[in-house]
Structure 1
Amino acid sequence: MNTSYGLGEVFSNELESGTTVAGAVKAELALLQKIYTSPIDARAELVANTDHASFDVKKYMETYKEKMRETIINAVDDSVQ
């Protein structure tokens, strides 16, 4: 699943809260790294920061991942590009 994110959002929020530029860059890079290393956790964190509450985003994405696992493995095995 793709994790959409407004590039620079953490950076600008950090600056607005009084963090130094170096600290804001560090926070921005940490989130970008998390998007690639732990996409489900990162997406859940991003959505939580918007006060979303209609359903559990992390649970939904974990369920989706498990339900799609066999389909994805079969596609890779069949050389689907």
Structure 2
Amino acid sequence: MNYETDLRAVNEWSFLATELQLYLDTHPDDARALAALKNALSERQAAVSTFEQAHGALTVDGLLSARRYNWVERPFPFE
């Protein structure tokens, strides 16, 4: 995959997770929505992992598995 496709996957799963979170703020007993949120968060985590393996850290949290500090060596996600 390419940079734009990988980043789009992260953004799509992030958006869905945020929407589900907002829904659950007003419907906390909706078990299906909670299951959907858990799935969206899992898929987002996988998308972030895929992105970071191919393109480097997406956020500073992505440096947890880095062998050295290389945050400034790659273009930032918004560049």
TM-score class normalised by the smaller sequence: 0.3 to 0.5
Q: Answer 1 or 2: which has greater helix percent.
A: 2
More contact order relative to length (CA 8 Å, sep ≥ 6): 2
For normalisation by structure 2, the TM-score amounts to 0.32
